[in-house]
């Protein structure tokens, strides 16, 4: 389907889009009125607590739940031995983003795949009782050998199957990278590693499942896609669409962890159907660390260049971890073939199995891991060439996407470099390391490039005008804290020609218009385009009714002059307000209770003729205490080209949040395993380190103007992902510039600085 064209409307919009509007849902959140998945309640609500496996591989020999069941107030202990029969089939079981392989089925059989796997659900009258009773369940296991040590399985890595889960392999080699590498004047060749990282959102995963007397279910769930979750439940439990409704009005952070339905949801549904009572299941913070995560990786990047800095060869090969039962894949290496101009490129990607839960998408998946070694290697190459790292990137600036041999729909990366460097003061950077000092602290400056895709998915929206002048716009999309409520309200207000107080946006309900999962930074592009189309139709229809039923002045209004406009709950006509009519009176004359318009917008065919993406230039300053080895990030400038910015305030907040995440990736985040137990040990927010307020100094975000009439009707690109990409590399490069020490293994901790 071609994109919807903006309809001609007879009165000018107030241009809410592009202004720094406060979050329309902000008051609800700060006053506690916003309700999350585990906040919903119902008569007769009971509570489930998950019992997690204590081994990483093996089988369950016996489960003794007698002590738990004898405890007053305990209603049910669900295990693989007494769970309900399920009608699921592999072909129907997958949701929108399931990777290849066998999807995880909680309580399916006695097999244990990883430590922390759910093996029972205890349901009781209170959460405290359920948790206590869970400690009374006794389980005997048969242990089999396990492996959670990545280094031990790298040799057994394999290319993931394209047929299983639709993974698109890296582009075919172009030129002869191996020969060009050997013959080049200057070369760098090194291995880099990134660790397992956990999403750790503020709101733990949880759900409240409410059955009715007819067996229909309402699931209040933490999810990034209510219709995706609805489809999952339909497939697993054999339910019709009318028999299951998923509601998720607010999500307390997800970053990719809520893309797939997780195991707590089917466990809660099993219990609710068995007991015929509402059931709430919420995971603990510790259980969140036996969950989806960013997969660890080891990557080789080899770059070669002529003496003048022109790239002669690019080789980027990566291995990341996956579970024993699914092939999770990240697009890690493809960026190396797109970001810089080079005729000889070889890319490779494999996965290796560990006894861990299947990894998942985590903010800018693939690009976050892949740009760290690539941008570090570019810095190392600049060092060997004795040229400025920014100059090296400009020498090799790509005017086309060589992976696909397509032009970019827009690419203002040069301007990101220019404006970001000017804001940071990059021109004053000494070429040699250890050249800047302040007392006991060495000062270093580093930079890196960021890139992410600009995507659009099919989406629909509905706009309803009521007699009081309020327009209720809706779509089944999500808001995971990124500002979807606000951005959609702004887009709707512009299309309608009203102020944002006249619009209410609704989301997070599977009964609303179709929308994709909120991920990949394509929500504003996709759902926003549908909102704009639906509201434009509504506005045109209202103007048509005014001309038909508003009287002679409205009937004679010339469209080209834009003489009909909205003022509050009425329409006025003419510059001198010669005539006016309330919306209530107009609808009464027209004989309708309300106006209702819907629109579905899909990417148009011409998008296939372009490569579409967002880009950034990240500049970082660090201070390294020469005696203590501590690293402080004191300044970051992030210059971003992301098309039209709907709300500079919330967009800048997204970029700044990504920078904070990048600081954590560079300096702190790391899952620590006991490999004998096969279990992550720092599974809490005191020992799994990430930045707090005291770790963050000055973050400067600037948006570079970037018109784009290809990406979608609005010309917008998402900013949720791009903020984190390249930050870790910029910091690592700054650490080298401060100390002269190149650290290729994240995070950059004291022991590595002193090594």
Q: How far apart are CA 458 and CA 450, in angstroms?
A: 26
Listed in sequence order, the residues at least 6 apart from 80 whose beta carbon sits closer than 8 Å to its beta carbon are 60, 107, 108, 109, 110, 119
Catalytic residue among 197, 375, 621, 721: 721
Task: List the one residue out of 76, 274, 297 whose CA is nearest residue 197.
Answer: 297
Is the sign of the CA dihedral 470, 476, 477, 483 positive or negative?
positive
Ramachandran region of residue 361, left (φ > 0), alpha (ψ -120 to 50) or beta? beta
Q: How far apart are CA 570 and CA 572, in angstroms?
A: 7
* Cβ-based neighbour number of residue 50 at 10 Å: 26
Please answer whether residues 502 and 470 qualify as being in contact, where contact means their C-beta atoms are separated by less than 8 angstroms.
yes
Alpha carbon separation from 216 to 86, 240, 604 (Å, rounded)? 16, 9, 38
Task: List the one residue out of 491, 428, 519 whose CA is nearest residue 645.
Answer: 491
Alpha carbon separation from 353 to 173, 321, 362, 366 (Å, rounded)? 26, 6, 19, 18
H helices of 43-148, in order, are: 66-69, 90-93, 127-134
Task: List the one residue out of 266, 226, 327 whose CA is nearest residue 93.
Answer: 266
* Strand arrangement, sheet containing 613-625: 436-438, 441-453, 613-625, 631-641, 698-703
Listed in sequence order, the residues at least 6 apart from 713 whose beta carbon sits closer than 8 Å to its beta carbon are 3, 4, 5, 6, 529, 532, 533, 601
Please answer whether residues 379 and 668 qualify as being in contact, where contact means their C-beta atoms are separated by less than 8 angstroms.
no
Question: Per residue in 521-557, is it b (16+ CB within 10 Å) or e — as a string?
Answer: bbbbbbbbbbbbbbbbbbbbbbbebbbebbeebbeeb
Task: List the one residue out of 323, 327, 314, 319 whose CA is nearest residue 353.
Answer: 323
As a dihedral over the C-alpha atoms of residue 703, residue 495, residue 26, residue 570, rounded to 10 degrees, the angle is: 140
Q: How far apart are CA 280 and CA 269, in angstroms?
A: 9
> Could you give the 3-state DSSP secondary structure of residue 209?
strand
Q: How far apart are CA 673 and CA 544, in angstroms?
A: 66
* Beta-strand pair 186-194/297-305: antiparallel
* Cβ-based neighbour number of residue 626 at 10 Å: 15
Q: How far apart are CA 648 and CA 297, in angstroms?
A: 34
Is 721 designated active site?
yes
**Burial class for 331, CB neighbours closer than 10 Å (0-12, 13-18, 19+):** middle
Please answer whether residues 196 and 294 qualify as being in contact, where contact means their C-beta atoms are separated by less than 8 angstroms.
yes
Q: How far apart are CA 204 and CA 24, in angstroms?
A: 24
Task: List the one residue out of 12, 9, 4 whose CA is nearest residue 541.
Answer: 9
Q: How far apart are CA 474 and CA 489, in angstroms?
A: 10
Please answer whether residues 505 and 474 qualify as being in contact, where contact means their C-beta atoms are separated by less than 8 angstroms.
yes
Report the catalytic residues.
721
């Amino acid at each position: 389907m071609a994109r919807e064209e903006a309809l001609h409307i007879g009165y000018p919009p107030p241009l809410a889009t592009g202004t720094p509007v406060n979050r329309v849902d902000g008051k609800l959140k700060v006053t506690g009125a916003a309700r999350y998945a585990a906040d919903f309640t119902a008569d007769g609500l009971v509570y489930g607590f998950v019992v997690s496996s204590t081994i990483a591989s093996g089988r369950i020999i016996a489960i003794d739940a007698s002590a738990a069941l004898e405890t007053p107030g305990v209603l049910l202990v669900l295990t693989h031995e007494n769970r309900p029969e399920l009608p699921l089939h592999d072909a129907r079981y997958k949701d929108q983003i399931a990777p290849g392989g066998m999807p995880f089925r909680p309580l399916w059989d006695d097999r244990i795949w990883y430590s922390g796997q759910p093996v029972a659900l205890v349901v009781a009258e209170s959460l405290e009782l359920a948790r206590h009773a869970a400690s009374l369940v006794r389980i005997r296991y048969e242990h089999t050998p396990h492996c959670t040590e990545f280094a031990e399985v790298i040799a057994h890595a394999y290319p993931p199957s394209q047929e299983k889960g639709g993974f698109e392999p890296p582009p075919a080699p172009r030129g002869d990278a191996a020969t060009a590498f050997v013959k080049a004047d200057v070369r760098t060749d090194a291995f880099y590693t990134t660790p397992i990282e956990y999403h750790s959102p503020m709101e733990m995963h949880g759900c409240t499942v409410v059955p009715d007397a007819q067996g229909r279910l309402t699931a209040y769930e933490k999810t990034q896609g209510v219709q995706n979750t609805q489809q999952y439940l339909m497939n697993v439990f054999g339910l019709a669409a009318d028999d299951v409704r998923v509601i998720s009005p607010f999500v307390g952070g997800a970053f990719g962890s809520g893309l797939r339905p997780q195991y707590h949801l089917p466990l809660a549904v099993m219990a609710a159907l068995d007991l015929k009572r509402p059931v709430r299941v919420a995971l603990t913070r510790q259980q969140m660390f036996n969950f989806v995560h960013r997969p660890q990786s080891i990557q080789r990047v080899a770059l070669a260049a002529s003496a003048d800095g022109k790239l002669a060869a690019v080789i980027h090969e990566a291995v990341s971890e996956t579970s024993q039962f699914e092939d999770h894949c990240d697009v890690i290496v493809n960026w190396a073939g797109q970001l810089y101009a080079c005729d000889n490129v070889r890319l490779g990607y494999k996965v290796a199995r560990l006894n861990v839960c299947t990894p998942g998408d985590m903010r800018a998946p693939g690009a976050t891991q892949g740009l760290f070694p690539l941008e570090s290697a570019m810095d190392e190459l600049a060092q060997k060439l004795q040229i400025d790292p920014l100059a090296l990137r400009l020498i090799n600036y790509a005017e086309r996407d060589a992976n696909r041999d397509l032009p970019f729909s827009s690419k203002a990366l040069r301007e990101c470099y220019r404006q970001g460097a000017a804001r940071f003061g990059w021109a004053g950077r000494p070429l040699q390391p250890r050249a800047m000092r302040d007392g006991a602290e060495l000062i270093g400056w580093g930079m890196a490039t960021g890139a992410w895709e600009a995507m659009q998915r099919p989406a629909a929206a509905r706009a309803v005008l009521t007699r009081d002048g309020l327009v209720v716009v809706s779509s089944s999309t999500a808001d995971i804290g990124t500002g979807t409520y606000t951005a959609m309200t702004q887009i709707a207000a512009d299309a309608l020609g009203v102020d944002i107080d006249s619009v209410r946006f609704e989301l997070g309900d599977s009964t609303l218009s179709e929308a994709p999962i909120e991920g990949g930074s394509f929500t504003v592009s996709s759902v926003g385009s549908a909102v704009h189309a639906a509201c434009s139709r509504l506005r045109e229809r209202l103007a048509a009714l005014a001309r038909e039923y508003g009287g002679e002045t409205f009937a004679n209004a010339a469209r080209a002059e834009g003489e009909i406009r909205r003022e509050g709950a009425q329409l006025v006509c003419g510059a001198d307000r010669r005539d006016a009519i309330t919306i209530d009176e107009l609808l009464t004359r027209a004989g309708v209770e309300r106006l209702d318009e819907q629109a579905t917008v899909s990417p148009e065919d011409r998008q296939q003729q372009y490569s579409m993406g967002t880009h950034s230039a990240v500049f970082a300053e660090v201070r390294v205490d020469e005696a203590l080895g501590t690293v402080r990030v004191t300044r970051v400038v992030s210059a971003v080209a992301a098309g039209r910015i709907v709300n500079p305030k919330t967009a800048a907040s997204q970029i700044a949040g990504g920078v904070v995440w990048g600081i954590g990736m560079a300096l702190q985040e790391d899952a620590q395993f006991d490999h004998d137990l096969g279990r992550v040990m720092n599974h809490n927010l005191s020992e799994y380190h990430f930045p707090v307020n005291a770790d963050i100094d000055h973050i400067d975000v600037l948006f570079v103007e970037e018109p784009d009439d290809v990406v979608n009707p609005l010309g917008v690109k998402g900013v949720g992902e791009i903020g984190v990409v390249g930050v870790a590399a910029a910091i690592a490069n700054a650490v080298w510039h401060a100390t002269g020490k190149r650290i290729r293994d994240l995070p950059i901790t004291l022991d590595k600085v002193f090594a």
